[in-house]
């Protein structure tokens, strides 16, 4: 009976994590559009929507703590609940960074000589695929998919380095473009951090499945 109730609550908890993942996916899709079109009103909307993700994070944390207190889960179940507590922190941080990037998008709409770095779109797409695959690997409890996410982190790091060089060259060639390039430098830093957080989540999914913590990050 207790076990039955626990499984019921765990399913509801999972659903809330998946709901949080869906909200995050929407934010990421929106931020990609806002970044490409430099759409200040969409960026403002993303910042507003961040509150719902924050609220859901706190709700899930409270649910986790209540479940541990009431049901006193052991072994795999406890591992799952404590991992979810960690995962939602990273999900929330990725969403935070969508809002952080949106603030720079709004700044960019007011700046002149805005030249988007060549590989920005590719960098965004790899990061996005990492987040989506992380959510999928959570839903499907798929360790192989989680490992794919971890492997992709280097690709994002390489994009960060090459775009950072590109922006340095643009600034050296065009003084007027410097303020906008600084905005893009911050944006690619956030993109790189988002990929790091996706990697953290993938490592927690590995932990749920295997019981072994991956060192790193």
Chain residues binding its own copies by CB under 8 A are 54-55, 58, 61-62, 64-65, 68-69, 72, 74-75, 78-79, 82, 85-86, 89, 96, 164, 167-168, 171-172, 175, 178-179, 182, 185-186, 189, 193, 213, 215-217
CA distance 193 to 92: 12
Give whichever of 43 and 188 is closer to its own copies, judged by the CB atom.
188
CA distance 104 to 158: 22
Residue found under tokens 């986790």: 64
Shortest Cβ 216–its own copies spacing (Å): 8
CA-based Rg of the chain, rounded to a whole angstrom?
19
Give whichever of 1 and 75 is closer to its own copies, judged by the CB atom.
75
Alpha-carbon dihedral of residues 201, 206, 207, 210, nearest 10 degrees?
Answer: 170
Handedness of CA 151, 154, 157, 158 (dihedral sign): negative
CA distance 106 to 85: 32
Give whichever of 39 and 57 is closer to its own copies, judged by the CB atom.
57
Shortest Cβ 27–its own copies spacing (Å): 16
Shortest Cβ 74–its own copies spacing (Å): 6
Give whichever of 2 and 140 is closer to its own copies, judged by the CB atom.
2
């Amino acid at each position: 009976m207790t076990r039955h109730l626990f499984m019921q609550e765990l399913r509801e908890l999972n659903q809330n994590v998946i709901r949080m993942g869906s909200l995050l996916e929407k934010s990421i899709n929106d931020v990609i559009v806002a970044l490409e079109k430099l759409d200040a009103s969409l960026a403002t909307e993303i910042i507003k929507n961040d509150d719902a993700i924050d609220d859901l994070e706190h709700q899930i944390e409270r649910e986790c703590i209540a479940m541990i207190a009431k049901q006193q889960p052991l072994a795999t179940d406890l591992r799952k609940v404590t991992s979810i507590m960690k995962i939602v922190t990273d999900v929330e941080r990725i969403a935070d960074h969508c809002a952080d990037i949106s603030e720079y998008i709004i700044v960019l709409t007011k700046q002149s000589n805005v030249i988007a770095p060549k590989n920005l779109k590719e960098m965004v797409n790899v990061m996005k695929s990492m987040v989506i695959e992380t959510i999928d690997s959570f839903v499907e409890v798929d360790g192989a998919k989680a490992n794919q996410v971890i492997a992709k982190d280097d690709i994002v790091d390489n994009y960060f380095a090459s775009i950072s060089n590109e922006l340095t060259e643009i600034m050296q060639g065009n003084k007027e473009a410097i303020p906008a390039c600084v905005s893009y430098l911050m944006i690619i830093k956030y993109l790189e951090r988002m990929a790091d957080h996706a990697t953290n989540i993938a490592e927690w999914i590995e932990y749920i499945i295997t019981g072994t913590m991956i060192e790193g990050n």
